[in-house]
Amino acid sequence: MSATLLQVEGLVTEYGPVRAVDGVDLSVSEGAVTAVLGANGAGKTTLLRTISGLVRPRSGTVELEGRSLKGLAVERIVRLGVAHVPEGRGVITELTTEENLALGGLWRGRGAMPVEEVYELFPPLRERRRQPAGSLSGGERQMLSIGRALVARPRVLLLDEPSLGLAPLVSREIMELVRRMAAERSVAVLLVEQNARSALAVADRGVVLNLGRIVAEGDASDLIADEDLRRAYLGF
Amino acid sequence: MTRFVDLTLNGISTGAIYAAVALALVIIWRSTRIVNFAQGGMLMITTFIASALISSGASYWLAFVVALLSGFVLGGLVERLLMRRVEGKPPLNAVIVTFGLLILLEAVAGMIWGNTPRSFPPAFSIRGYSVGGTRLLFAPNDTFIVLVVLGSAALLALLFRRTTLGLRMRASAFAPEVARLLGVRVGGMLTLGWALASLMGSLAGVLVAPSVFVGPNQFDPILVFGFTAAVMGGLDSPAGAVVGGLLLGLALSYVGGYEGSALVTLAALVILLLVLMVRPQGLFSTPRERRV
Amino acid sequence: MNALLSRARIPAGARAPVIALLAGIVLFVASELLSEYNNLQLATGCYYFAALAGLTLLTGLSGQISLGHGALMAVGAYTAALLIGNEHWPLLGAVLAATVMAALVGLVLGAAATRLRGPYLAGATLAFAVGLPALADKYPGTFGGENGLTIEPPTPPAFLGREFPLERWEAWIAGIGAVVVLLLAENLRRSGMGRAFRAIRDDEIAASLCGYSVARVQLTAFVFSAACAGLGGALLAVVLQLAAPGAFQLQLSLSLLTAIVVGGLGSLAGAVWGAAFLVLLPGWSNDIANSFSLSTKVSSNLPLAIYGVVLIVVMLVWPTGIQGGARAAISRLRRARGRPGTGPGTPRKRELAGAASGPVSPASGGEAALTNQRGDPER
């Protein structure tokens, strides 16, 4: 049984009067991929933003390897080993590919993954290393943002809709990569996706959110098998 | 003909000073999206500090260094203590706060040192170079001004483009939220940006002080010229600030030379309005569409 | 004020004249009761109000910030001084002409500046403010150089009697000017154009999609405020019998800005508070200086230092100024008494503070606000 790296309990996040996250419990283990599914507006992105500290929760706890992240600044949380690839990928378009990657590892210093390794993982990036990141295609940007997150050798990786806007083939490659990474590098991955089918294909466990609450959870295979659930919340 | 040459050379020298102020404004704009109208007051105060040191017997170069250092510290303090609270709020608030700071600094300077403008020594001789019998309106001091401003601009460029610190600062300016997600201490980077900008401003202050004299309101036109130059080059572009400064220096030198110095500030206004009407994003910027 | 008027069942169309009439009565009574010195202060407050009313509409309602209104007052003052002193025009004609002149300058400046936003407009008007006084040096013959132009004090008409104090007459002149401005400004604020101002301040793109011509509306706001400033300047020249460059430096524009911020941006009642602030502060500051035996260096700069501190503190802590604070207090009182508050306190704050952040923003801490400011991580 691998260790629980990320533990979320009773998390509540509000935007004014709206409870975007309404009492969520979940945990992610080392080397496992947990998919967070649900329709638009279900609270998935807010959940990730609360974990990484961009948004302050109303109540509830988030613990990283037993250590509470309550009240910590985003930079601090990141330096504890949490990487968050935001919705829209967050590629800094004014910087080059290489600069984006370098940026990811700065706080790690010597312990960071060498940029060469990222190029091994994502060969297309090597060709584009000196070009401004704004000139990259959607798929390349996704590779860049994931690569940039990996450079810091995170313990926990939060991925927000990595397949958004990507062709199905590219999206599948990315998903495969995510699964390999989790296993090979012992990273706990929390994967938010609207495309439930592709997410469940690579995930170990799944959590379904609706209006900020968890309406279903379980092993990925069980969720796939549950036809009613799929039809009601997952769209396939 | 010599008049034209003189005015051109003079324009390059004053242009370098405007470039320094413009650069200060651009660095702050890029990192925090605020036009620091208080810059005129900040560089005035640091120049006063230098002036006070010189009056009490310190060497010029010591005063010079102290002016730059106090500019650095002042910039950092202003950002951390004051501007931090209006970053991210509507721009109107920040504009008003910077003007409040400007008046406050000018008033405090008047309280400490009085309102009568006082003289300030130049770094080097202001006796123009002698070329083939005629004396140019360009002196060793002007050479110093141009070299030190261009040199500092080059150093800043190196810092921003070639160092990891510069990378962090650029990331904090372009995409602060993403930068935080990459572990960059964005707040600290913004403070550093203000500190460096203010250092540039202080440089301009001591360089221009001999010609405008040191007094609470003496540097107001420099603020206007620096702003105009920054807008000409594009508020987003440091290279633009330098080029804008030099171009403005030339233009105003010609106006001052042929029409008299009283109209120079109004000429800057006209240039500013022309630039904003014809190419509002400045000469060097790529226009950013506003996201609806 | 609105609530009071609606309770008195005064129809909306008549409210502006009623307010103006009330103001006129108050001013008249005050002028009768006050001493000569205080009447002079009243006159000063009135011409400040004239300038501030226009400026507060410009800045508060339409969201444009101008540092140039001190210079526009100079235009009005010098025009009036030239017409009265050199051309011997009658008072009313000179003041009107000064207003028109300032409006024309405002038209030119405003037309060039219609596309300017926020700091760009501030910077351009700053250039205007710093640059204009130099004209007095350039053409010392016409403008009297550093000493400026002096004019004869205005003589009260014969039917008021020989003993009618000059200061009270000046208070009346300035008071009439202030009441006229109040009437026009209040009308403007309540009109369709006033609504257009607010629409554009809140969201330009939405407003232009609704059919407002952004450029024309902003120009109107600018020209109107320039005219008010010109009128204020002309009244200043009449009251002081002097138009000199020293009075119209950048500090004047900055003190006008302080006054409207203190009073509350966009509010005419706030302009009243602001005018009072400008009139009374130098006196208070002198008293402080005297009681602490401060040197002249310190005491002469004290009002400016206070303006600076006030601008900063108010903007950081209390962006809605006195009038906003009063509204909030009243609305809180109402709620405490169990009556439905009109809630002007909070919406007013949102009008000011919420403008740039876009339609919906999460209850923000610094982080969320940062996101809104820069917008998107990816472009």
Each residue's pLDDT tens digit, B232-252 = 998 888 999 999 999 999 999
Smallest Cβ–Cβ distance between B182 and the set A54, A93, A104 belongs to A104
Strands A213-219 and B130-131: unpaired
- List, in sequence order, every residue forming a beta bridge with A35; answer none if it has no partner: A191, A206
Cα–Cα separations (whole angstroms), residue B185 to A79, A103, C309 = 10, 12, 30
Smallest CA–CA distance from A85 into chain C, residue: C377
Q: What's the gap between Cα A133 and its chain centre?
A: 21
- Which pLDDT score, from 0 to 100, does residue C14 have? 76
**What three-state secondary structure class fits C168?**
helix
With an 8 Å Cβ cutoff, is A68 touching chain C? Answer: no
Query: Residues of chain C whose pLDDT is less than 70?
Result: 1-7, 12, 204, 319-327, 330, 336-379
In-domain check, residue C93: yes
CB contact under 8 A, A91 and C376: no
- Which pLDDT score, from 0 to 100, does residue A226 have? 83
Around Cβ C313, how many Cβ atoms within 10 Å? 13
Put simply, the chain B residues between 184 and 223 with a CB less than 8 A from any chain C CB are 186, 216-217, 220-221, 223
Comparing A137-141, A208-212, C8-12, the range with the smallest average pLDDT is: C8-12
With an 8 Å Cβ cutoff, is C374 touching chain A? Answer: no
Instruction: Count Cα atoms within 13 angstroms, Cβ side, for A18.
Output: 12
- Which pLDDT score, from 0 to 100, does residue A1 have? 52
Q: How many CB pairs under 8 A join B and C?
A: 200
Q: What residues contact residue B227 under an 8 Å CB cut-off, 6+ apart?
A: B21, B22, B25, B35, B37, B272, C123, C126, C127
With an 8 Å Cβ cutoff, is A134 touching chain C? Answer: yes
pLDDT (tens digit, 9 = 90+) per residue, A140-159? 898 899 999 999 999 999 99
Q: What is the dihedral angle through the alpha carbons of C117, C118, C124, C129, rounded to the nearest 10 degrees?
A: 140
With an 8 Å Cβ cutoff, is B96 touching chain C? Answer: yes
With an 8 Å Cβ cutoff, is A94 touching chain B? Answer: yes
Smallest CA–CA distance from C375 into chain A, residue: A90
In-domain check, residue C33: yes
In-domain check, residue C255: no
The 8-class DSSP code of residue B123 comes to S
Query: Residues of chain B whose pLDDT is less than 50?
Result: 289-292
Smallest Cβ–Cβ distance between A103 and the set B177, B182, B185 belongs to B182
Angle, CA of A34, A39 and A43, to the nearest 5°: 70
Contacting residues of C for B264, CB less than 8 Å apart: 131, 134
- Which pLDDT score, from 0 to 100, does residue C97 have? 94
Phi, psi of C223 (to 5 degrees): -65, -45
- Smallest Cα distance from A234 to chain B, Å: 29
Smallest Cβ–Cβ distance between C312 and the set B82, B89, B180 belongs to B82
In-domain check, residue C206: yes
Whether residue A129 is predicted with pLDDT greater than 70 in this model: the reply is: yes
Please tell me which chains touch A, using 3 or more CB pairs under 8 Å as the contact test: B, C
Smallest Cβ–Cβ distance between B175 and the set A92, A148, A152 belongs to A92
Smallest CA–CA distance from A153 into chain B, residue: B182
Buried b (16+ CB within 10 A) or exposed e, B69-90: ebbbebbbebbeebbbbbbbbb
Name the pLDDT band for A171 (thresholds 50, 70, 90).
confident
Q: How many CB pairs under 8 A join A and C?
A: 30
pTM of the entire structure? 0.85
With an 8 Å Cβ cutoff, is B289 touching chain A? Answer: no
Instruction: Count Cα atoms within 13 angstroms, Cβ side, for C198.
Output: 15
Residue in C237, C201, C271 with CA at minimum distance from that of residue C97: C237
**What three-state secondary structure class fits B114?**
coil
Smallest CA–CA distance from A52 into chain B, residue: B181
Smallest CA–CA distance from C294 into chain B, residue: B111
- Helix, strand, coil shares, percent, chain B, to 5: 75, 0, 25
- Smallest Cα distance from B92 to chain C, Å: 6
Contacting residues of A for B186, CB less than 8 Å apart: 75
User: What is the rounded distance in angstroms from the CA atom of residue A61 to the CA atom of residue A200?
Assistant: 26
Owning domain of residue C119: 2-249
Q: Are A191 and A164 in contact (CB under 8 A)?
A: no
Phi, psi of B187 (to 5 degrees): -55, -50
User: What is the rounded distance in angstroms from the CA atom of residue C294 to the CA atom of residue B111?
Assistant: 10
What amino acid is encoded at C53 in this protein? A
Contacting residues of A for C372, CB less than 8 Å apart: none
Which residue intervals of B119-263 are DSSP H helices? Answer: 140-162, 164-174, 176-181, 186-212, 220-233, 238-259
With an 8 Å Cβ cutoff, is C362 touching chain A? Answer: yes
Contacting residues of A for B183, CB less than 8 Å apart: 75, 78-79, 106-108, 152
User: What is the rounded distance in angstroms from the CA atom of residue A217 to the CA atom of residue A194?
Assistant: 16
User: What one-character-per-residue DSSP string does A29-78 give?
Assistant: ETT-EEEEE-STTSSHHHHHHHHHTSS--SEEEEEETTEE-TT--HHHHH
Angle, CA of B238, A74 and B290, to the nearest 5°: 45
**What three-state secondary structure class fits C224?**
helix
Sign of the four-CA dihedral C250, C256, C262, C266: negative
- Smallest Cα distance from C351 to chain B, Å: 11
Contacting residues of B for C312, CB less than 8 Å apart: 82, 97, 100-101, 104
User: What is the rounded distance in angstroms from the CA atom of residue B6 to the CA atom of residue B137?
Assistant: 5
Smallest Cβ–Cβ distance between B171 and the set A83, A92, A108 belongs to A92
Considering only the top CATH level, what class is B2-113+141-278?
mainly alpha
Put simply, the chain B residues between 10 and 39 with a CB less than 8 A from any chain C CB are 33-35, 37
Smallest CA–CA distance from B183 into chain A, residue: A75
CA terminus-to-terminus distance, chain C: 48
Please tell me which chains touch C, using 3 or more CB pairs under 8 Å as the contact test: A, B
CB contact under 8 A, C377 and B177: yes
CB contact under 8 A, A15 and C376: no
The 8-class DSSP code of residue C155 comes to P
What amino acid is encoded at B84 in this protein? R
- Smallest Cα distance from B206 to chain C, Å: 21
CB contact under 8 A, C377 and A14: no
CB contact under 8 A, A92 and C377: yes
- Which pLDDT score, from 0 to 100, does residue C194 have? 80
- Which pLDDT score, from 0 to 100, does residue C364 have? 31
- Which pLDDT score, from 0 to 100, does residue C370 have? 32
- Smallest Cα distance from C362 to chain A, Å: 5
With an 8 Å Cβ cutoff, is A14 touching chain C? Answer: yes
User: What domains can you pick out in chain A, each with its CATH number?
Assistant: 1-74+195-236 (3.40.50.300)
Q: What's the gap between Cα C6 and its chain centre?
A: 26
User: What is the rounded distance in angstroms from the CA atom of residue C69 to the CA atom of residue B99?
Assistant: 15
Smallest CA–CA distance from B268 into chain C, residue: C127
Count: domains in chain C: 1
- Smallest Cα distance from B171 to chain A, Å: 7
- List, in sequence order, every residue forming a beta bridge with A216; answer none if it has no partner: A208
**Token pair 């760009």: residue:** C120
Q: Are A206 and A35 in contact (CB under 8 A)?
A: yes
What amino acid is encoded at B23 in this protein? L
- In a mutational test of the C interface, the residue from A45, A55, A78 whose CB has the highest number of chain C CBs within 10 Å is A55
Contacting residues of C for A72, CB less than 8 Å apart: none
- In a mutational test of the C interface, the residue from A21, A50, A52, A54 whose CB has the highest number of chain C CBs within 10 Å is A54
- Which pLDDT score, from 0 to 100, does residue C326 have? 65
User: What is the rounded distance in angstroms from the CA atom of residue C104 to the CA atom of residue B199?
Assistant: 41
CB contact under 8 A, B90 and C357: yes
User: What is the rounded distance in angstroms from the CA atom of residue A209 to the CA atom of residue A212?
Assistant: 6
- In a mutational test of the A interface, the residue from C364, C370, C371, C378 whose CB has the highest number of chain A CBs within 10 Å is C378
Phi, psi of A26 (to 5 degrees): -160, 165
Around Cβ C86, how many Cβ atoms within 10 Å? 11
